[in-house]
Structure 1
Amino acid sequence: MADRYDSPVGDKPSITETQWQAAAIASALLSIILGIAGSFWILGLVPPEAIAPDDMAARGRALTPIGTFLIAIVTFCTVAWRAKVTERQANAQERQNASADENNLAILLEKGAELTGSDDKQKELAGLACLSAVVTAENRRFGGEGLSLLGRYIQENHPKKFSSYLPRIALQALRDGYRNGNSSPVKLRVNGDSEVVRWEPIWGVGGVNFRYGTVRDWPDEFDECPTANTFFKVSFETIKIAVDFRTFKGCKFTECEIIELNTRIGDTNTFTECNFSGCIMNFELNEERLDLETFFKDKNYYIEGNPPLPPHGFDSFDWSRYLRKQPRYPFGGEED
């Protein structure tokens, strides 16, 4: 059976290591045979005849280019064969190193899972360091598993607040792991209860459901993060945000600037004293018609001269029927 390293790689034909070795040996043997035959011819031994010294010299000069060519062929085949041998050895070493790396990463993954489940903060920190090493490693064999463990660590140990140093380390490791090309299908749920929270995006996981809590700070990273985020009964206050009923369910928005709204009949989100100036109304008013008077009843408004855009299917729309029209200069001032 042929050695597996003899097989050419890729679609293009290639000369294998064994073939180069055979060519080197064959060319060397041929050179020896031709060298002996040439020596006999130069000395007049084949065929037997008396040769003058000048004729011997002439014959030697005649065979010199041939000898040089044969030596070059032997050298070329030998060098090519040795190059193939070196390549095989390097590939074998690379596979051995990769296998060792995977074993080390598997150990780090197991150790990280063990330490992050500890009640000792120092052990937790060491566990996060292990998992961070796994998800940022060049070998991504266990990257997805590392992200899953990091995400579950946040869900189980720090579901309410991300502000302390341990969850922030985990969040950064998730971001770094995602940027390293890893991803995890795991879906998480974090619960803010009634506390004021600062939710931040969790990178690299399949989805996150943020529940309850009051949000007064909306990081721009949410718009960049590809994770499928949903929010359930979360209160948002004084932030600038785009609202989609598929992402926000049963949420309350108070004194927020709504830059885009996608809603439908049965939408349970509520708005109080929110600014809809220039808002993109990304929905349709169909035959069943949304009850806009009820939907926008709680002192919501737009600045005069900058009403929301018309809903789909309308060239223009009188939003003053449903939203308060607030003067641009409420204290009677004028633009300079």
Structure 2
Amino acid sequence: MQEKSPLTDDPKKKISFWLDENFWLKVSMVSAASLLALFIVVCASAYLSANTNRELTRSIDSIYKIGILGIATVTFSTVIWRGLVSTRQVESQVKATNHQAHQIELVRKQNERGQRNELASLLQKGAELLSSEQTTDRSAGLATLHAVAASNQEFSKQAMNILAEQLEKVAKEDYNSREYKNITEAMQDVYDKCSITADYSIAFEAPNDETKWSIVKGISRIKYTNGYFRLTREESEAVFLGTNVRFVGVRFESGTHAVTYLKYKNCRIRGAKIIFYTQAPVERNIFEMCDFSGCKVTIRSSKNITGRDNYYYEDTPPTTRDGKPLRDEWLEANFSKRQRWKEEQH
């Protein structure tokens, strides 16, 4: 039985054969050589066989046409060959680029695995040091966990949770200790730089009303009982307005407050700016010399605000949550009205 040519059996081989750059290079070279040989032979034959000038002219015209056809053939095959070479070079460059990108990705993953293992080890070591009885070990553990949390990586929140748990333990012993201050500063630094909070709930309870609270950032839920705060309006806006925090029996001296249900209970707020007021009767908060200008008020009953000397400026009176005016008699019963321009003149 006669064997079939491999080029006629497999369509893919047919295609690859016609896309072989070596084939078109050979075609170009053979065409050029054939054209040169044919040109020499035809020229010699025309010169030797021509008896008159007219016959010579006719022969030269034939040679010209053959030359054009040959040059076209050589040009065509050469263009295809150069195109295939360019395509191969581009494909080689793409393969090299993909290979380089693959190598870079492998190195990146190796670095990530190495960094992850290192952070996991530091997290474990920091937790062990922080639970030590030695002050120096706890300081080293705090520094280690601070670094892990500030890395803003996979174990940052776990490190913050460990710091929050330690802060709660320290707070039960002494709110004024150096360790308490160092932990709050570390957590505040991580929160300010990375916006990471511990998924943790802490209840701080002061031993007496004269305990001054300091700002604690980086904890998702906080409850303060007793003691007092003395903050600027800017500090209180940055800390309390966007935090899940509760106050029970706390005294506030200045600050900015959004008094909502279950956030303040049995608190005394003095000399502060009140931007939102909703209060259940059981909360029994007291307001003294507070500025209610522009405050959004939700009134569930006709009960008056407990306190004294609260006020608003007449150009920005308190309103309902949707901006509607409040009853004049309620405003008169709870606030004094001030004029800005008179105070600015003094």
TM over 0.5: yes
Q: What count of residue pairs does the alignment treat as equivalent? A: 289
In structure 2, the residue matched to 1:244 is 260
Corresponding residue for residue 243 of structure 2: 227
One-letter code of the match for 1:30?
D
**1:13 counterpart residue number:** none
Q: Check the 8 A contact 1:27/1:73 in 2, yes or no.
A: no
- After superposition, the Cα gap between the structure-2 partners of 1:43 and 1:206, relative to the gap in structure 1 and judged at 3 Å, is same
Which of 78, 92, 95 is the equivalent residue of 1:78? 92
What SS does the corresponding residue of 1:197 show, helix, strand or coil?
A: coil
Q: Does 1:301 align with 2:309?
A: yes
Between the aligned residues of both structures, percent identity stands at: 17
Q: Secondary structure at the match of 1:185?
A: strand
> Relative to structure 2, which stretch is displaced further, 143-152 or 189-198?
189-198
Shift of 1:306: 6.3
Alignment match of 2:111 (pick from 77, 90, 97)? 97
List alignment gaps of at least 5 residues for structure 1: 1-25, 329-333
CA contact (8 A) 2:256 2:272 kept: yes
Residue aligning to 1:69: 83
What one-letter code is carried by the residue in structure 1 that aligns with 2:133? D
Q: 1:233 to 1:278 in 2, by over 3 A?
A: closer
CA distance in structure 2 between the aligned counterparts of 1:320 and 1:258, rounded to whole angstroms: 19
Q: Which residue of 2 aligns with 1:122?
A: 136
Q: In 1, Cα distance between the equivalents of 2:109 and 2:24?
A: 43
Measured in 2, the distance between the counterparts of 1:220 and 1:161 equals: 27
Shift of 1:200: 0.7
State the match for 1:14 in structure 2: none
Distance 2:76 2:40 in 1: 14
The CA deviation at 1:234 is 2.0
CA deviations 1:268-291 (Å, max 9, x no partner) are 3235xx1145453723153xx32x
Q: Which amino acid aligns with 2:268?
A: K
TM-aligned CA distance change 1:281 to 1:65, over 3 Å: closer
Q: 1:267 to 1:88 in 2, by over 3 A?
A: same
Residue 160 of structure 2 aligns with which residue? 147
Partner of 1:134: 148
Give the letter for the 1:88 counterpart: H
Would the aligned equivalents of 1:276 and 1:307 in 2 still touch at CA under 8 Å? no
Q: Which residue of 2 aligns with 1:211?
A: 225
Rg bigger for which structure? 2
Match runs of 1:251-330 below 5 Å: 251-253=267-269, 255-257=270-272, 259-260=274-275, 261-271=277-287, 274-278=288-292, 280=295, 282-284=297-299, 286=301, 289-290=302-303, 292=304, 296=306, 300-302=308-310, 309=317, 312=320, 314-317=326-329, 321=333
For 2:204 and 2:39, how far apart are their aligned partners in 1? 103
The reply on whether 1:33 has 2:23 as its aligned counterpart is yes
1:79 Cα offset (Å): 0.5
Specify the alignment match of 2:120 in structure 1: 106
* Amino acid of the structure 2 residue aligned with 1:202: K
What is the alpha-carbon distance in structure 2 between the residues aligned to residue 314 and residue 216 of structure 1?
A: 31
Contact 1:128/1:150 (8 A) holds in 2:
yes
How far apart are 1:63 and its partner, in Å? Answer: 4.8
